[in-house]
Chain A
Amino acid sequence: MADSSAGGVPASGGVSKYLGQEGIVFALTVILLIVFTGMISGFSSPENLLSLTRNVAVLGILSVGMAVVVISRGIDLAITVTMSITAAFSVVLMTAGYSEVFALGAGLAAALAIGIFHGWIIAYVEMPALFATLASALFINGFGRWLFMDGQQRAYVPQEGVNYIMIAQERILGVPIPVIMFVVMSLLVAALLKYTNLGRHIYATGDNLGTARLSGISTRVLALITYSLCAVIGFIAGIIQSASTMLVNTQVFTSTLLFDVILVVVIGGVSLQGGRGRIRGVVLGTLLVGIVLNGLTLLNVHSDIQAIIKGLLLLAAILVDNWLHPRNEETARQGDM
Chain B
Amino acid sequence: MKKFRKSILAGLAVVAAAGLGTMAAAQQGADAKQRAAYFEALAGKKIVFVPIAMGDPLMQGWDAALRIQSHDAGMEYELKDANWSTQSMSQAIAAAISEKPDVIVAHNINVQLLARDLKRANDEGIYVIQLNLASNQPTDALVGADWTGIAEATSNQIIADCGEGSGKSGKVAILAGQLTAADSVLMNQAMTRIFDGRDDIEIVASQATNWEAEKAREVTATLLQQHPDLCAVFAHWDGFAFGAGQAVKQAGKSGETLIYTNGGGDRRACDALGSGIFDRYWSYNSLAQGRDLVLAAKWLIQSGIKPGSQNIALYSPSTYMTPETYTDDQCWDVPDVSHLK
Q: B214 at the A/B interface (Cβ < 8 Å)? A: yes
Q: B210 at the A/B interface (Cβ < 8 Å)? A: yes
Contacting residues of chain A (13-52) with chain B, CB-CB under 8 angstroms: 40, 42, 47-48, 51-52
Pair B222/A55 contact, Cβ less than 8 Å: yes
Q: A63 at the A/B interface (Cβ < 8 Å)? A: no
How far does the alpha carbon of A254 sit from the alpha carbon of B82 in the complex, in Å? Answer: 12
Contacts of B242 in A (CB 8 A): 245-247
How far does the alpha carbon of A255 sit from the alpha carbon of B84 in the complex, in Å? Answer: 9
Contacts of B290 in A (CB 8 A): none
Partner of B221, one of A55, A241, A247: A55
Q: A328 at the A/B interface (Cβ < 8 Å)? A: no
Contacts of B204 in A (CB 8 A): 300
How far does the alpha carbon of A311 sit from the alpha carbon of B283 in the complex, in Å? Answer: 38
Pair B84/A297 contact, Cβ less than 8 Å: no
Pair A48/B55 contact, Cβ less than 8 Å: no
- B219 (CB) vs chain A CBs: closest residue: A297
- B215 (CB) vs chain A CBs: closest residue: A255
Pair B217/A244 contact, Cβ less than 8 Å: yes
Q: A188 at the A/B interface (Cβ < 8 Å)? A: no
A215 to chain B, nearest CB (A): 43
Q: A302 at the A/B interface (Cβ < 8 Å)? A: yes
Q: B225 at the A/B interface (Cβ < 8 Å)? A: yes
Contacts of A52 in B (CB 8 A): 222
Contacts of A251 in B (CB 8 A): 53, 84, 211-212
Contacts of B210 in A (CB 8 A): 255-256, 303
Interface residue stretch chosen among A71-79, A150-158, A204-212, A269-277: A150-158
How far does the alpha carbon of A300 sit from the alpha carbon of B204 in the complex, in Å? Answer: 8
Interface residues on A, range: 35 or more
Contacts of A47 in B (CB 8 A): 225
Query: What is the total of A-B residue contacts with beta carbons within 8 Å?
Result: 92
Contacts of A181 in B (CB 8 A): none
Q: A94 at the A/B interface (Cβ < 8 Å)? A: no
Contacts of A297 in B (CB 8 A): 205, 207, 218-219, 222-223
Pair A245/B217 contact, Cβ less than 8 Å: yes
Pair B85/A156 contact, Cβ less than 8 Å: no
B225 to chain A, nearest CB (A): 4
Contacts of A169 in B (CB 8 A): 249-250
Pair B226/A42 contact, Cβ less than 8 Å: yes
Contacts of B53 in A (CB 8 A): 153, 251
Given A156-B268, A297-B223, does the pair A151, B54 have CB atoms closer than 8 Å?
yes
How far does the alpha carbon of A54 sit from the alpha carbon of B218 in the complex, in Å? Answer: 9
Q: A324 at the A/B interface (Cβ < 8 Å)? A: no
B91 to chain A, nearest CB (A): 15
Pair A254/B250 contact, Cβ less than 8 Å: no
How far does the alpha carbon of A52 sit from the alpha carbon of B218 in the complex, in Å? Answer: 9
Q: A252 at the A/B interface (Cβ < 8 Å)? A: yes
Q: B153 at the A/B interface (Cβ < 8 Å)? A: no
Q: A298 at the A/B interface (Cβ < 8 Å)? A: yes
How far does the alpha carbon of A164 sit from the alpha carbon of B296 in the complex, in Å? Answer: 48
- B249 (CB) vs chain A CBs: closest residue: A169
A7 to chain B, nearest CB (A): 31
Contacts of B206 in A (CB 8 A): 300
Contacting residues of chain B (191-227) with chain A, CB-CB under 8 angstroms: 204-208, 210-215, 217-219, 221-223, 225-226
Contacts of A133 in B (CB 8 A): none
Pair B221/A51 contact, Cβ less than 8 Å: yes
Given A151-B55, A153-B53, does the pair A303, B207 have CB atoms closer than 8 Å?
yes
Q: Contact mask B68-106 → A, CB, 8 Å, 1/0? A: 000000000000000111000000000000000000000
Pair B250/A245 contact, Cβ less than 8 Å: no
Contacts of A58 in B (CB 8 A): 214
Q: Contact mask B238-264 → A, CB, 8 Å, 1/0? A: 010011001001100000000000000
How far does the alpha carbon of A140 sit from the alpha carbon of B275 in the complex, in Å? Answer: 33
Given A55-B218, A297-B222, does the pair A159, B275 have CB atoms closer than 8 Å?
yes
Q: A168 at the A/B interface (Cβ < 8 Å)? A: yes
Partner of B250, one of A152, A168, A252, A298: A168
- B216 (CB) vs chain A CBs: closest residue: A245
B237 to chain A, nearest CB (A): 13
Contacts of A256 in B (CB 8 A): 210
Contacting residues of chain A (51-68) with chain B, CB-CB under 8 angstroms: 51-52, 54-55, 58
Partner of B83, one of A54, A245, A246, A254: A254
User: Which 5 pairs of residues, A with B, have the shortest CB-CB distance?
Assistant: A153-B55, A303-B208, A51-B225, A245-B213, A55-B218
- Give residues in B with beta carbon < 8 Å to A: 53-56, 83-85, 179, 204-208, 210-215, 217-219, 221-223, 225-226, 239, 242-243, 246, 249-250, 268, 271, 275, 277
